[in-house]
Amino acid sequence: MKCSDIDAVAGRRSWRRNAGGVAVAMVLSTTVLCGFAQTVASADPKASGAHDQQVWHARYSDRYKRNWGVDIAGVRHVSSGYMLRLSYTVVDVARAAPLFDKRSRPYLIDNKTGARLAVPAMENIGELRQTATPIPGRTYFVIFGNPGKLVQPGDRVNIVIGDFKAEDVIVD
């Protein structure tokens, strides 16, 4: 019996009348087990990581919008964890312009180890970042290499692009 079926079973009086005390015991034991399963699920590190990311975004997003004209969507694992993708949406083109400067060299710093991860440059493509003229409301990305899967989900990182610095961003 699934946790979602508890209410359906408890609501059927005829089923409970026919089965007597066994049905009540079954509903109660299922309720206890479902409560335990939900407690275990809430202890899942990915679930708490998502919550931490939401808390970080709620706390710092206004500062980055006001000072740099961008809303940071987050940092995620891509390419089986061997790369990290920073996604951000441009809110104010004039303030976001320094992030699109081709001369700046973005890097990501792992707070746990202090390692600096750079943007890889492919032979035919170039750097894995977008440097076109920014358009308000559009989401852009920067890809950082993550050799040996050094940065894991839940880790905190700092992102530096020229004078721009985003601190303690939580990796999804």
Residues whose CB falls within 8 Å of the CB of residue 171, separated by 6 or more in sequence, listed in order: 49, 74, 75, 76, 77, 84, 151, 152, 153, 154, 155, 156, 157
* Structure tokens that stand for 131 in this block: 């440097």
pLDDT tens sequence across 91-104: 999 999 999 999 99
Cβ-in-10-Å burial (0-12, 13-18, 19+) of 96 comes to buried
pLDDT band at 49 (very low <50, low <70, confident <90, very high): low
Q: Average of pLDDT values for 107-114?
A: 96
pTM reported for the whole predicted model? 0.69
The one-letter amino acid code at 80 reads: S
